[in-house]
Amino acid sequence: MIVVALTGGIGSGKTTVSAGLVERGAALIDADVIVRELQQPGGEVLAAMAERFGAGVLSADGSLDRQAVAAIVFGGKGEPAGEPEGAAGALADLNAIVHPPVGREIRARLDAEAALPDSDRNLVVLDIPLLAEGLLAGGPPRYPVSGILVVDAPSAVAEERLVGLRGLSRDDARARIASQATREQRLALADHVTVNSGSPAELRPRIDAAHAWAVQLPAADYRPAATA
């Protein structure tokens, strides 16, 4: 199967591009969706987050209070006084809690896609927002992929989207953008770039181009866990 790793900074429009590729026949494995599923009440991920960050990250009904988590990992609020790493340390701890179970679930879903009949030419889009950060930290690629697709937008455009569409404050938007890899770092990893700095009408032919690029890629050297 063809596996395309899709990534991009917050506010770049990855979700729009991935949805467009699904409309054109691709299967989607979305790391953010998996994270939310694993953070449901009763799961080990939510319990580990509450243990690390405190009961304040839980809502009255026991679900995750995402705003409370964001205040800690992007703003350092609630971290111990004098904590040298501040928000950066909190974000690293969050990633250490979340990434291993998410990785296992992604692998299970890739296994399921690989088991489908005639899977050799099936296109699977693997949406991993923090792909660049993992590679830049020196870690090996977690999954064999055929190519890396980067959705790119200027930081100013991403900031306006976060403020206008998601309701974030400017300080919060800038902190989230700053916590990720830079545009230049992501672009250096790209095999194909989809620019999303304008209107939906401008984006549509660029999604067409991304799909045309993806379907001609060689199959990824992927082996299900049982045979790896």
Q: What is the pLDDT of residue 83?
A: 47
**Separation of CA 29 from chain center:** 10
* Separation of alpha carbons 15 and 19, rounded Å: 6
Per-residue pLDDT of the chain (228 residues; tens, 9 = 90+): 999 999 999 999 999 999 999 999 999 999 999 999 999 998 889 999 999 999 999 999 999 999 899 888 877 555 543 344 556 688 889 988 998 899 899 999 999 998 888 777 799 999 988 888 877 766 656 788 999 999 999 999 999 999 999 999 999 899 899 988 999 999 999 999 999 999 999 999 999 999 999 999 999 987 765 443
pTM of the predicted structure, to 2 decimals: 0.83
Sheet arrangement for strand 27-30: 27-30, 123-127, 2-8, 147-152, 192-195
Domains of the chain by start residue, with CATH: 2-215 (3.40.50.300)
Which DSSP helix (H) or strand (E) runs through 4? Answer: strand 2-8
